[in-house]
Amino acid sequence: MSHDPWLIVLGQAAEPASRTPLYIIIVYMCALFALGWISSRLFRGSSKDFFVASQSIGPFMLLMSVFGTTMTAFALVGSTGKAFSLGIGTYGLMASSSGLIHAACFFFVGIRMWSFGKKYGYVTQIQFFRDRFESKGLGYLMFPILVGLIIPYLLVGLIGAGNYIGGVTAGMFPETFSLPDKVLPSGKEIANPLNGSVPAWLTGLVISAVVLFYVFFGGVRSAVWANTFQTIVFMIMGLVGFLVIAHGLGGLEAASKKTLEYAPEKLSRVGLMTPAHFMSYMLVPLSVGMFPHLFQHWLTAKSAKSFRLTVVAHPICIMIVWVPCILIGIWAAGLHAEGSLRVPPLPNGNPNANAVLSAMVKTFMDSPVLIGLFSAGVLAAIMSSLDSQFVCIGSMFTNDFVVPWMGKDRFTDKQKVWLGRGFIVFIVLITYVISIFKPTSVFNLGVWCFSGFSALFPIAFASVYWKRLTKAGVVASVIATTVTWSLFIYDALGNKGEKWFGESHAGEYLIAGVMPVTFICLASIIALVLVSLATKAPSQATIDRFFPTKG
């Protein structure tokens, strides 16, 4: 096959590209509809079943749902794009550290949270915090902040899906979705590489609708079923896709040697990141300990023993998904430097990192059937996170906002489920509209979102290990996190003049050479500890309730 991307682009202008991949994606979406319908048959109609599947999920499904939930566009589209720019260090930044930190969060915090959920009947994280800190008001403070942090996470999924499908369907509909030629900053005019592709607004609309469908009818139970199915799909298709791309490049050795020849800097970390930058990234995976959607998945576990498989297998599952993505990313860097891979450019003329994976698939997979199956796998990874996040925001709205405000007897169980569904649609609409107008780097957006959750993690950790932690300490920590996170994100993304705190290096915003999460976490911990020590300790009854004595 010819690997000259310019010829591919010219070919698209002459005749539409094969639509077979798109048909396969449509069949996959129909399969998800069917799965959603089948799992909804098992829905027991109660809010407890809708929100935590009546705590009936066993080890394998818990692993698949927790792993599928943590892997989103960030893992496939984002990691490939980041490895394209930052090289192999990307794996150490997020994947290997997550193998250690995520599992630590499950082991040290998740099991305890599950035990409180089981004992006291919690459905959401905020319900636990309300009881633990004897404060209804704390829930009202945390609710908008947690929902606000989930929105960028949802955006990661929608933007990633739009970018990926745009790249892979380029040339399929030259009449319907034609795009004008692109003028590069150099003044050179090129045919738009995304001409004739399915636009991002349509991709976002379809995947939101499919996920909404199965979440609506079966709640978290459907999400768990769909996650299990989709996680298996994206793990298998990811490996198959990787091998096919490697074959298209003349084998694993030939592919890596090209990178060694044309982009050798991507094979190490020197010049791309510093040890301090690398080390500070270890704080980012702490976010899983505070993700409300993950908390909800923990609560679905049938027993504490269900966690065992998740704790052990999670690092391996991450490795299976991330290593191929990193290799594809560094191979793409070599090919791009050589001039044999064209990545759709951003308005500033730089290659769009979000489009690297689709460019590799489109260029080096011969078979439209394989492209379709691989693309279904990418969408599976994205949707397996969206579904949990959708259920979670509905659950939080109902249980953490409406019920405490209006009283638990104000609504029937059925009405509670419908309230949750209504709020899900509202948030999805907002996110969808933002996703159309604010396309940005999937990886960087994900890191900002995770940084906010990471800075709130000390609250989760201290709430199960530190008896002296007080409500005022938690409020101070939440405020410190919100203020520092907002200031830094504005400085990084919104401040067009001279930066106040940090500087951009290789596409990353760093403060004193480390990730902003370092300072956000520091502010959070200092506020948490100092204010807790300075305020009245929780009542003995609360301490007895959450720190049961052994035996």
Partner 1 sequence: MKKFVYALVILMAIIHQDIWWWDNKRLIFDFMPLGLFYHALFSCMAAGLWALAIKWAWPSDIEEWAEAEAEQGGEQ
Closest CA to 333 of 255, 252, 241, 270: 255
247 sits near partner 1 (criterion: CB under 8 A): no
Using the rule CB under 8 A, give the single segment among 39-47, 178-186, 322-330, 358-366 that binds partner 1.
322-330
Q: SS3 of 448, please?
A: helix
Task: Out of 27, 184, 338, 408, point to the residue binding partner 1 (CB under 8 A).
Answer: 408
Closest CA to 397 of 150, 222, 193, 57: 150
Q: Is 549 left (phi over 0), alpha (psi -120 to 50) or beta?
A: beta
Restricted to residues 69-88, the positions that interact with partner 1 (CB under 8 A) are: 88
Task: Out of 43, 67, 84, 122, point to the residue binding partner 1 (CB under 8 A).
Answer: 122
Total residues belonging to the chain: 551
Find where tokens 């929105």 sit: 151
Instruction: Quote the tokens at residue 28.
Output: 């996959």
Give the span between the Cα atoms of 399 and 142, in whole angstroms.
Answer: 13
Instruction: Quote the tokens at residue 398.
Output: 């109902």
499 sits near partner 1 (criterion: CB under 8 A): no
Alpha helices in 490-515 (DSSP H): none
127 sits near partner 1 (criterion: CB under 8 A): yes
CB nearer partner 1, residue 155 or residue 327: 327
Instruction: Quote the tokens at residue 506.
Output: 């290789």
494 sits near partner 1 (criterion: CB under 8 A): no
Find where tokens 């994100």 sit: 489
Give the span between the Cα atoms of 146 and 349, in whole angstroms.
Answer: 36
Least distance from C-beta 269 to partner 1, angstroms?
5
What x/- string results for residues 287 through 316 when contact with partner 1 is judged by CB under 8 A?
A: ----------------xxx--x--xxxxxx
Task: Write out the DSSP string of 16-41.
Answer: PPP-HHHHHHHHHHHHHHHHHHHHHH
Give the span between the Cα atoms of 99 and 282, in whole angstroms.
Answer: 11
256 sits near partner 1 (criterion: CB under 8 A): yes
Instruction: Quote the tokens at residue 360.
Output: 């590799």
Task: Out of 136, 414, 438, 468, point to the residue binding partner 1 (CB under 8 A).
Answer: 136
CB nearer partner 1, residue 4 or residue 134: 134
What x/- string results for residues 163 through 192 when contact with partner 1 is judged by CB under 8 A?
A: ------------------------------
268 sits near partner 1 (criterion: CB under 8 A): yes
CB nearer partner 1, residue 183 or residue 276: 276
Restricted to residues 99-118, the positions that interact with partner 1 (CB under 8 A) are: 99-100, 103-104, 107, 111-112, 114-116, 118
| Cα separation values, 32 from 43, 74, 183, 373, 425, Å | 16, 22, 40, 14, 19
Binding residues for partner 1 (CB under 8 A): 88-89, 91-92, 95-97, 99-100, 103-104, 107, 111-112, 114-116, 118-123, 127, 130-131, 136, 252-253, 255-257, 260, 264, 267-270, 275, 278-279, 282, 303-305, 308, 311-316, 318-319, 323, 326-327, 330, 399, 404, 408, 545, 548, 550-551
